[in-house]
Structure formats: structure tokens, C-alpha cells
Chains A and B, each alone.
Chain A
Amino acid sequence: MGSVMMHEVASGVDAGAAAGAGMLLDVRNLHTVYPSARGNVRAVRDVSLTVAPREVLGVVGESGCGKSALMLSIMRLVPRPGRIVEGNVRLDGVDLLELSPAQMRDVRGKRIAMVFQDPMTTLNPAHRVGDQIVESLRVHGMTPSGAGRPEARRDCLRSRLWQGRRDREEERDYVIELMRRVGIASPEHRHLEYPHQFSGGMQQRIMIAIALACKPRLLLADEPTTALDVTIQAQVLDLMEEINHDMGTAIVIVTHDLALAGDFCDNIAVMYAGQIVECGPADAIMEDPLHPYTRGLLLSMPRLGSRQPLHAISGEVPDLTSVGAGCAFAPRCERRTSRCEAEESPLVQTRDGRVIRCHAGTIVSL
């Protein structure tokens, strides 16, 4: 009965092309490796996911599961000697991996923007925050009104010298407006200050302002709240929710906090050992996790008022240089069978539209 309801996805190109239609971001069978002395670290293994316009997708998993590597792969910013081995990353149907470096540079910041975990180290300490916001516009030859200026595209330094005073005032007004938009008080003075003069939460808002300067359609947020206090975390998430709502920016948020993803996201992709093990609507996953790993994550979330001891997933994250033929989670899985250790489950789709990678998962759901 179970086998009738599910069919294999993402193994054939034809099925993939159909699934990606109308999607803003369509990542398909992506593999990224980092060569190391001990062998190739397979940080991203056969990841496929889609993001619809205006969607908020949460990518959840523990440290070292390949979440950040996935984000950097989408931006084509995997630090050398790491590299993308195969796969496609389509943005509005255009494969980013096929673009020239110059074309890719034009995508970064303008169509896909990214914010990072630690604003203290991510903002450049030597430049005024206002200048750092404006830089995003200038490198893409954009004016605040959004019109492209081809001459500025060629050389942003030269354009700075040629730039008229009105342009500069327009830029300054835009920076101030943007800073106000992300919730920074008295931006008309503070745009002249340096990053170290702001608190962590305010720095994160500035980073978001920088990311939003070119009005990108997709925002990749790599643990944007991890370095912040809990109260500030909520404020920054509220801000991102507003941006998603008002500006229509789709957001991919990477987090190790399943509860946060459950609250904040439309869909959740759970990653383990470089693979997506479960992906589907946030509500469904939070209520009824199918994959044993998702289940473990959910059980290990502290709950207010609960007197039961916290559940911990036994064992350790596997070494990504030596993943065998079987399921990567099998050594830690309570439901493992001999089949799990022998062969890896393909990604299968369940009836409620979820995708999981588990031999046992679908049986659990029945």
C-alpha cells in the first residue's frame, strides 16, 4: 500500500524540470566537496530544493551538516579549495553555475543577497555603515530609484568622482530611509558611524539593510540570529518577517533551531550529513515528523512546563569524508534495519507533499 502512494523524485531530469517550473530558486542534485588532508569532505550531497517567490524556507540541522556550505554553493562563494562538483542552481530558470564570473557577480547582492551569522565580524570595521550600504548600490551601478547606470557598472571608483552632488544626496537619503526601514533610530546621524559604534542587534539590522539595498528577490540568511541575545533575536526575526511580507523577498533561513524554523517558515528542509532528509510544510513537520532524525530533533527541544528529561540523539555526526553506502543516520537511528545499513534510501514523496529520505519513515506515517 505504501509503495503505491510514493514515487521516486529527483532522480530523473524530466521529473525535476517539471517540479522547478515557476520557482524562484531551484537547486537540483547539488554536490559540494572540500578537499582535505583526510580526503574529500562531502559537505553537500545530492541536495535538491525549491523556493517559490515570497516563500520562507528554513534549512535546519546541527553544526557541520552542510547548511552553510549549501548557502555558499548557491552564491558560488564556496571558499577554495572547496568546489561544486555537480548539480544545478537555477534562479528564475537561469543556471547560476553556468554564468561567467562577471555575470555571477551581478547576481550577488542584486538578485540574491546574503546575511551572515556574526555581524561583528561581517561588517567591515574600517568603513562607515552608510558607505557600506551605498556600496551595494554602486557596485551594481544602481541609483536609489533603481535605474541601471551602465557607466557606473564599469568602475565604481571612477563613478564616485564623476558623480554629481544630486546623486550623492539621493543616495544619502536612500541610506537613511533604508536604515529607518530596518529600525535604526536617528539614521540621519548614525549613517556616518562605524560598525563598532553599534550594538550586535543594530549591526545585524545594518547587515540586513546592506542586503536589501538592491531590493533582491531572494535573501539567504545564514544563522542570522545565533550571535544575538534572545530578545534581540525576536526583533530581528520580526524585521525579516516584515521584509518578506512588505517587499515580497523570499527568504532562506539557515538555523539549528527547529522551533524557530517552525514559527518563522512556510517550509522546512531538514539536513543531515550534507543531505536533505526531510522537506515539507513547516506545520506538518512540526506536528508529525516522518524522518527519525527530525523526530529526534523535535524531541530534543526543551518544552516549558514539561517535567520529562530532554531527549538526546545518541552518537555523533558522521565523518563527511567517509560516508558509506548506507543511510548516514543509520548508526544513530532507533529504527534502523539491515537495509538501512546496506543502501541509502532515495528521496521519496509522501501523499501530503513532503519529501523524505528514509526506508522506515513512510511506514511510520501509516
Chain B
Amino acid sequence: MIRLGRVQVKVIERVVATIPLALAVALAAFVLMRAIPGDPVDIMMGEGASSSEEEMAALRTGLGLDQPIHRQLVVYLKALLRGDLGYSIVRSRPVAQMIREALPATIELAMCAMLFALALGIPVGVVSALKHNTAFDRVSTAVSFIGVSLPAFWLGIVGILVFSMTFGWLPTSGRIAYGMEPRHITGLLTLDALLTGDMTALGNALRHLCLPAAALGLGVAAVVARVTRSSMLDVLGSDYVLFARAKGVPEPAVTTRHALRNAMIPTVTLVGLQFGSLLGGNMIVETIFGWPGLGRVVVDAIFARDYPVVQAAVMVYALTFVGVNLITDLLYTVLDPKMALE
């Protein structure tokens, strides 16, 4: 009998609990897609009305769309249980392959946006708390309030106008210049470039990442800064911080080892939630920056009523949310030893 640690048990529990959730999400996506008026054949053939009724009926039969909905659902679920996500109706390619291609781009963008948000938000929050009620604190609080209110697409457009059009420093769209792609390993271009040692590709990929990551990350940075500031203020007033000072702990260590570590718990919760929405909610930014990610695939698929693609993408989003939340929970146990026992 293998003895499992608390963390392993938690992971297994979570994975098992995900299965019914995934099925429920699949069902919801299936039903909702079909509730929207118009089917893929209408959209494909619709505009010109050049095709005859017979041709369209034949196409529907070929795609199985003439079957009653419950039959379609059974076919879909059977395939799903085999791990088959089906074929894209519009592009005639396996959906799994489309997602495999697009997902790394979305993950890379979301991770860079999050890194940007943390690198900006945490220090600003900490310094605001340390310099509570000073000019820095007031200005950063005001700026972060504005940051929360600005939509990412507006920031993206302004970013393109300023940094690409006016100064010409950064590219306007795409992930990397044509022909510079590093050898495919993980699908994350920056990581692949690092692994293959291709520094030109790395630089180019990073330049492409700057604007979309900043546009997506700025709002998150503002929220992170606000949450970090308030939890830091709480913790700095706590008895254990006073006790650390009474022990003679130097001020930088009081801030990091004693205060920041405890103050990070609310921030980690927030980052988990925000990361999920960065992965799932960046369709607009991907569209503005011509970023070949899952968001664009989904937008195209929704307009084309490409049922299998939308259904699969919704499931991917749901599963990434669950995965990110699991990682967040595991991070808690590192930060807060009380959680490890519960």
C-alpha cells in the first residue's frame, strides 16, 4: 500500500471532483450553443443564398446536425469519453489539434501579464503600506484606482498608438516575426527560445509580448497593489511584527520575512482568481493584437457556430480554472501552516 502525503491526497481529491464538473460544463456548453439561433450550415452558406435547400440538407446530414438534439448529445458525450473532441465544422481539422496550437499562446500571454502585474503591483502595494499616508501612498492609490477602471482593450489601443505607431519601438501584432520561431518544444515561444538558446528569437518574442501583456496586466497590477497594500497595513500593525522589532530584527527582514509572507495570503487568492480570468477573458486583447491564442479561436468559432470548437474551448477554460484554483490552494499550505493541517 502506498502512503500518500496530504498534498497528494488533496490533488487526487480535486482531480476526481473535477470529472462531474467537466461533464456539467460540457452539457451546458452543448445546450447553450444550440440555443443560439442559426446553425453552422446557415452561417457557411447563408449570405449569398447561392446553395440550394438540398445541398444544405445534405451537409447537415453529413455533419449529423439533422439528428434530434438528444441523439447529438449522446454522440458527443460518447466521443468525449473516448477523449475525442471532434472535428471543427468550419476548418475540418481536429479540435484537439487547434486547441493544442492556440493554448500555449494564451498561456504565455496570461503568464507574462501576471508576471507584469505582480512585479508592478506587489512592490507598489508594499511601499504604499510602508509609506502609509504619504504622497507616494496617495498617488499610487489614485493611480491604481484609475488602473482598475481602464478597460484592457483601451490600454491596448493606446499602447499601439504610442509605442508602435508614434515611436515605432514595439510590433503591433503577432507573437513573433515571421520565420523566427524557435524549435517547438513547449509551445511557449519565450521558453522554447531559452531552451534552444536562440536569443534573437527570445528578444523578438518578448518585444511582441510587451504591449499585450502590459495591456492585460495593468488592471490586475492595480488590484494586486490595492490588496497587497491593505493586507500589508493590517500585518504591519500586528503584534508579531512589533515582537520581531523587539527582537532586534532589522527593518528589511521585518518587512519581508515577518510581514510580507503573511500579507501575501490574500494576494495569492486574488492572483488565482485573476489568472483564471486572464486565461479565459483575454479574447478582446488577443483580437486587438492579432495574438493567435485560444481567445481568437473561440471568437471565430462562436460567430461560425462551430459547435465542437466552442464546446471544447469552454471545457478547457473550466479545467484551467480548476487547475489554477488547485495550485492556489496548494500555495496557501506553503504560506500558512494552519491550512496544511486542515
Contact = CB atoms under 8 A, between A and B. Distances in A.
Contact of A108 (B246, B258, B335): B246
Given A194-B338, A196-B337, A122 B243 contact: yes
A162 B270 CA distance: 36
A121 B337 contact: no
A274 B33 CA distance: 73
B262 A125 contact: yes
Contacts of B245: 77, 108
Contacts of B262: 124-126
A118 interface: yes
A109 B238 contact: no
Interface in B113-147: none
Interface string B199-243: 000000000000000000000000000000000000001111011
Interface in B302-342: 335-338
B77 interface: no
Interface stretch (A132-140, A294-302, A309-317): A132-140
Interface in A96-111: 105-110
B247 A135 contact: yes
A320 interface: no
B83 interface: no
A156 B252 CA distance: 11
Contacts of A127: 257
Given A116-B239, A123-B240, A126-B261, A196 B338 contact: yes
A77 B246 contact: yes
The B contact surface, by secondary structure, is: helix
A210 interface: yes
B249 A118 contact: no
A109 B246 contact: yes
Nearest to B265: A126
Contacts of B250: 105, 139, 156
A75 B242 CA distance: 11
Interface centre among B238, B239, B240, B335 (most CB of A within 10 A): B240
Contact of B242 (A77, A113, A156): A77
Contacts of A106: 248
Interface in B246-277: 246-250, 253, 257-258, 261-262
A157 interface: yes
Contact of B253 (A75, A114, A128, A157): A157
A276 B244 CA distance: 29
A114 B244 CA distance: 10
B267 to A, nearest CB: 14
Nearest to B261: A126
B113 to A, nearest CB: 28
A123 B243 CA distance: 8
B242 A116 contact: yes
A121 B239 contact: yes
A96 B338 CA distance: 39
Contact of A122 (B237, B239, B338): B239
Nearest to A104: B248
Contacts of B243: 114, 116, 122-124, 207, 210
Contact of A105 (B240, B248, B335, B337): B248
A207 B240 CA distance: 11
Contacts of B336: 125-126
Contacts of A105: 248-250
Interface centre among A107, A207, A210 (most CB of B within 10 A): A210
A297 B7 CA distance: 56
Given A124-B262, A126-B262, A194-B338, A109 B248 contact: yes
A156 B337 contact: no
A91 to B, nearest CB: 14
Contacts of B257: 127
A365 B68 CA distance: 105
B248 A136 contact: yes
Nearest to A102: B250
Contacts of A125: 240, 262, 336-338
Contacts of B239: 116, 118, 121-122
Interface in A61-110: 75, 77, 79, 105-110
A122 B246 CA distance: 11
Given A194-B338, A196-B338, A121 B238 contact: yes
Contacts of B237: 79
B249 A139 contact: yes
A127 B253 CA distance: 13
B137 to A, nearest CB: 14
Interface centre among A123, A139, A156, A207 (most CB of B within 10 A): A139
A255 to B, nearest CB: 18
Contacts of A122: 239-240, 242-243
A300 to B, nearest CB: 29
Given A121-B238, A123-B240, A124-B240, A114 B246 contact: yes
Contacts of B253: 139, 156-157
Nearest to B258: A124
Interface centre among B237, B243, B338 (most CB of A within 10 A): B243
Interface in A180-209: 194, 196, 207
Given A108-B247, A109-B247, A139-B250, 18 more contacts: A77-B242, A79-B237, A79-B242, A108-B246, A109-B248, A113-B246, A116-B242, A118-B239, A123-B243, A124-B244, A124-B262, A126-B336, A126-B337, A136-B248, A140-B248, A156-B250, A194-B337, A196-B337
- Shortest Cβ-Cβ A-B pairs, 8 listed: A109-B248, A108-B248, A109-B247, A194-B337, A121-B239, A114-B246, A122-B239, A124-B240
26 contacts: A77-B246, A79-B237, A105-B250, A106-B248, A114-B243, A116-B239, A121-B239, A122-B239, A122-B240, A123-B240, A124-B240, A124-B258, A124-B262, A125-B240, A125-B336, A125-B337, A135-B247, A135-B249, A136-B248, A139-B247, A139-B249, A139-B250, A139-B253, A140-B248, A194-B337, A210-B243
Interface of B: 237-240, 242-250, 253, 257-258, 261-262, 335-338
